[in-house]
Amino acid sequence: MAGLIHVYCGDGKGKTTAAVGLAVRACGAGKKVLFVQFLKSDASCERRVLEQLEGVELAACPSHIKFTFRMNEQEKQDCRQRCAALLQFVQNEIASFGCVVLDEIFPAVSAGMLGQQEVLQLMANKPHDVELVLTGRSAFPAAIEAADYVTEMKKIRHPYDYGVPARKGVEF
């Protein structure tokens, strides 16, 4: 059966949550899953459940990561190198998995940590039977055009707008 490309984008909550749900469903169906997170630390709580599932491989995350606009030049360079290494790992290993999730890849592109062409090349060259999921707030038009599924999460209201910080187990 052919694998398709999913894009979960937009400014609303639920992009990672949807990707985790699809990863769990794929794992439940016996598919081997690779879950890669760009621009996230290992504090994201979804990792605790995913790492317990046999058949799910998590790419390593740093213990802490700043928002890119708060990074100094050395931190940005280190982040670019990490993102490039993660994408290279995915390119090398994608054929070994039935489902690959690239969580927060679009913010990595919009922050200049990865190039659009690299992402488009991965999308175009994915193996026929691999389900590929890309998430993030700012999906670029060519990625949207290349995807089979595009779901936009639209924020109507969010507690962060009136001062409620991100809550463990809900937003991270």
The CATH number for 94's domain is 3.40.50.300
Task: Please give the tally of structural domains in the chain.
Answer: 1
Query: Could you tell me if residue 171 is inside a domain?
Result: no
List of residues 6+ apart from 149 with CB closer than 8 A: 4, 5, 6, 7
Query: Could you tell me if residue 110 is inside a domain?
Result: yes
- Domain span holding position 74: 5-162
Cα gap 69→161, rounded to integer Å = 19
pTM over 0.85: yes
Cα gap 32→24, rounded to integer Å = 10
Query: Could you tell me if residue 137 is inside a domain?
Result: yes
pLDDT tens for 84-139 read 999 999 999 999 999 999 999 999 999 999 999 999 999 999 999 999 999 999 99
Query: Could you tell me if residue 172 is inside a domain?
Result: no
pLDDT tens for 10-59 read 999 999 999 999 999 999 999 999 999 998 888 889 999 999 999 999 99
Cα gap 47→144, rounded to integer Å = 26
Query: Could you tell me if residue 169 is inside a domain?
Result: no
Query: Could you tell me if residue 120 is inside a domain?
Result: yes
Q: Please state, in angstroms and as integers, the Cα–Cα distance from residue 13 to each residue in 17, 20, 116, 127, following that order.
A: 8, 13, 23, 30
| pLDDT > 70? residue 1 | no
Query: Could you tell me if residue 170 is inside a domain?
Result: no
Query: Could you tell me if residue 89 is inside a domain?
Result: yes
List of residues 6+ apart from 21 with CB closer than 8 A: none
Tell me 40's DSSP state: -
pLDDT tens for 49-73 read 999 999 999 998 766 676 777 778 8
* Residue of 153, 24, 27, 37 lying closest to 87 (CA atoms): 37
